[in-house]
């Protein structure tokens, strides 16, 4: 993952969309996400996993990408997509 | 390049005092109204307040000070009229803000600071009451520091030994963010001379792009170009009332007359009006109302309807003694012929919309455009980006 430089967005800033936001995920039975704690500190339990897939890319570079994505339905009935960075570790929430 | 800096500290204060024919002798604050709060725009020199300070804080320091509503349009008009006298010397004049301008003298080595000073005092009628400080230098920053050191009527020319000239200057005169100002102070760098003891590398490492600017300015290098001022085109019409009026129907009649005058003004020439400022002196205080039209209005009848709707909800502080309407942000000539090329028309509409936003949000609103970068990418953050929108 490329770290956020902390540069404030200005008129001359190029701003990628859908940047992953770090989050905490507690794993439940069968190694599946059970509770997600978002960036702002709110914890929500996972009702069901709607989809899961894996992305392995740029393995030929110095910064390979390997992510396991989950589309999950939360207790407030919202859908969100999270992934675990299989190389650097850590969970992230990401808009698609 | 030779630059002259024209500096008039507390410009709005001096303009306001001149307008009142020097009746305003007690200290006063000029207050700017924002949607949710009031801030100090200018003040009588010597008061313990700062520009941009919230009015509550200012009043806590000086409880019995007089407050005056800022009349920005009038200050801008006076400022640009004042700058017009420099057109004889140069066509390139940058107005950084009210009270600070840079005049590009284009290497006119024959011009001396004294020439320029005497020229100003002869040409402009306000000079007797405005404390004009003039500094001349090889770039904008040197000229600015020279102007800071100058006294009214005694211009200062930045010498060739730039290092010694700048060394004692406080870092408060660097055009950088407040965050960088406080960081410099924390590092114990209080003057430009302190900064010159360090190489550019650590400054850049600490402050990024601003570090480079700080270092260069401290060494007297300033490559910032002079950007020509953009003058606001305005049409002003005014009417006085024999006795104060506070009935909306009567006020609307006056508005109608003034709007008709504005829309038949040759300067408008079929162009749309995007902003109207209504100003009036009432028995108690000055009343102002800003109305932005979206889209731009081409007829006075539509303008009148919109203004009436707005004024129905308005409470006037007292009976109006006069009424002034200032039409500004005139668009390009508007045609009604439909374009065969809808995309072109959309672009024009977008341009007009952006202009409206500029009026509402300030000269440079942050406008962004979603642009596909690698739509095919399996990594979501690579697919799209927000980029600054250039019309």
How far apart, in whole angstroms, are the C-alpha atoms of residue A30 and residue A36? 16
Closest residue, chain B, to A67 (C-alpha): B379
- B64, part of any domain: yes
What digits encode the pLDDT tens for the residues B69-110?
888 888 888 888 888 877 777 778 888 888 999 988 776 655
Of B118, B133, B114, give the one whose Cα is nearest residue B173: B133
- B148, part of any domain: no
How many secondary structure helices (H) and strands (E) does chain A include?
0, 7
- B78, part of any domain: yes
- B366, part of any domain: yes
- B202, part of any domain: yes
- A7, part of any domain: no
Instruction: Determine contact: A76 vs chain B, CB below 8 A.
Output: no
Give mean pLDDT, residues B23-36. Answer: 82
Is the same domain home to B175 and B210? yes
> 3-class DSSP state for residue B271?
strand
Is the same domain home to B122 and B52? yes
Of chain B, the end-to-end C-alpha distance in Å amounts to: 32
- A12, part of any domain: no
Question: At how many degrees (to 10) do helices B248-263 and B300-312 cross?
Answer: 150
Q: What CATH number does residue B52 fall under?
A: 3.40.1170.60
Is the same domain home to B15 and B108? yes
Give mean pLDDT, residues B204-212. Answer: 88
Give mean pLDDT, residues B308-325. Answer: 86
pTM score over 0.80? no
- Domain that residue A82 falls in: 25-52+68-93
- B145, part of any domain: no
Q: Which residues pair with B68 in a beta bridge?
A: B30
What does the block give as tokens for B244? 């104060």
What digits encode the pLDDT tens for the residues A6-34?
545 554 456 778 889 999 999 987 888 99
What does the block give as tokens for B388? 């600054």
- A10, part of any domain: no
Is the same domain home to B188 and B254? no
- A73, part of any domain: yes
pLDDT at A66: 94
Determine phi and psi for B309, rounding to 5 degrees: -60, -40
Of A29, A69, A28, A23, give the one whose Cα is nearest residue A42: A23
Is the same domain home to B59 and B105? yes
- A47, part of any domain: yes
- Domain that residue B206 falls in: 162-218
- B52, part of any domain: yes
User: Count of residues for chain A?
Assistant: 96
User: Count of domains in chain A?
Assistant: 1
User: Which of B218, B242, B260 delimits the end of a domain?
Assistant: B218
How far apart, in whole angstroms, are the C-alpha atoms of residue B41 and residue B299? 35
Q: What CATH number does residue B176 fall under?
A: 1.10.150.20
What digits encode the pLDDT tens for the residues B335-357?
655 556 666 677 777 878 887 88
What does the block give as tokens for B228? 């020509």
- B227, part of any domain: no
Lowest mean pLDDT segment, chosen from A29-33, B116-120, B180-184, B190-194:
B116-120
How far apart, in whole angstroms, are the C-alpha atoms of residue B324 and residue B241? 11
Task: Calculate how close chain B gets to A53, using CA atoms only, in Å.
Answer: 11
User: Count of domains in chain B?
Assistant: 4
Closest residue, chain A, to B386 (C-alpha): A15
Is the same domain home to B358 and B331? no
CB contacts of B381 in chain A (<8 Å) are 16-20, 94
- A63, part of any domain: no
Task: Calculate how close chain B gets to A28, using CA atoms only, in Å.
Answer: 27
How far apart, in whole angstroms, are the C-alpha atoms of residue A33 and residue A26? 6
Are the C-beta atoms of B166 and B193 separated by less than 8 Å?
A: yes
Is the same domain home to B359 and B308? no
Q: What is the residue-averaged pLDDT of chain B?
A: 82
- A81, part of any domain: yes
Is the same domain home to B115 and B11? yes
Which among A17, A65, A94 has the least Cβ separation from residue B384? A17
Is the same domain home to B87 and B131? yes
Is the same domain home to B353 and B328? no
How far apart, in whole angstroms, are the C-alpha atoms of residue B217 and residue B67? 38
Size of interface A-B (CB pairs under 8 A): 41
Sheet arrangement for strand B384-388: A15-16, B384-388, B368-372
Are the C-beta atoms of B118 and B107 separated by less than 8 Å?
A: no
* Cβ-proximal residues to B128 (8 Å cutoff; 6+ apart), any chain: B121
């Amino acid at each position: 993952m490329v770290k956020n430089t902390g540069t404030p967005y200005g008129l001359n800033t190029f701003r990628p969309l859908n940047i992953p936001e770090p989050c905490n995920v507690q794993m439940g039975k069968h190694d599946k996400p059970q509770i997600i704690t978002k960036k702002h500190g709110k914890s929500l339990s996972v009702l069901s996993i709607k989809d899961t897939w894996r992305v392995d890319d740029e393995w030929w570079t110095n910064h390979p990408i390997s992510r396991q994505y989950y589309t999950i339905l939360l207790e407030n009935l919202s859908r969100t997509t999270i992934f675990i960075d299989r190389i650097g570790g850590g969970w992230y929430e990401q808009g698609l | 390049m030779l630059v002259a800096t024209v500096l008039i500290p507390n410009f709005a204060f001096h303009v306001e005092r001149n307008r009142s024919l020097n009746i305003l002798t007690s200290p006063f604050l000029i207050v700017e109204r924002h949607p949710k709060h009031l801030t100090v725009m200018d003040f009588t020199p010597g008061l313990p307040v700062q520009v941009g300070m919230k009015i509550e804080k200012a009043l806590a320091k000086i409880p019995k000070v007089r407050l005056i509503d800022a009349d920005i349009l009038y200050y801008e008009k006076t400022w640009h009229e004042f700058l017009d006298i420099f057109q004889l010397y140069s066509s390139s004049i940058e107005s950084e803000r009210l009270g600070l301008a840079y005049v590009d003298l284009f290497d006119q080595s024959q011009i001396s600071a004294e020439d320029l000073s005497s020229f100003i005092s002869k040409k402009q009628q306000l000079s007797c009451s405005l404390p004009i400080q003039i500094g001349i230098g090889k770039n904008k920053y040197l000229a600015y520091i020279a102007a800071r050191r100058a006294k009214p009527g005694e211009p200062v020319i930045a010498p060739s030994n730039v290092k010694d000239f700048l060394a004692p200057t406080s870092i408060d005169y660097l055009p950088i963010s407040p965050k960088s100002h406080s960081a410099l102070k924390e590092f114990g760098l209080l003057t430009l001379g302190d900064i010159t003891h360090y190489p550019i590398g650590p400054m850049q490492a600490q402050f990024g792009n601003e570090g480079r600017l700080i270092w260069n300015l401290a060494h007297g290098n300033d490559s910032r170009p002079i950007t020509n001022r953009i003058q606001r085109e305005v049409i002003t019409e005014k009417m006085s009332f024999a006795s104060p009026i506070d009935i909306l129907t009567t006020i609307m009649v006056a508005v109608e007359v003034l709007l008709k005058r504005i829309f038949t003004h040759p300067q408008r020439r079929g162009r749309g009006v995007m902003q109207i400022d209504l100003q009036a002196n009432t028995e108690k205080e000055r009343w102002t109302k800003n109305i932005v039209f979206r889209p731009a209005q081409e007829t006075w009848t539509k303008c009148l309807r919109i203004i009436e709707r707005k004024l129905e909800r308005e409470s006037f502080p007292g009976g109006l003694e006069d009424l002034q309407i200032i039409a500004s942000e005139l668009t390009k000539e508007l045609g009604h012929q439909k374009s065969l090329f809808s995309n072109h028309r959309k672009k024009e509409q977008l341009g007009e919309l952006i202009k409206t936003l500029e009026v509402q949000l300030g000269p440079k609103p942050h406008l962004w455009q979603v642009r596909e970068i690698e739509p095919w990418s399996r990594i979501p953050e690579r697919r799209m980006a927000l980029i600054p929108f250039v019309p």
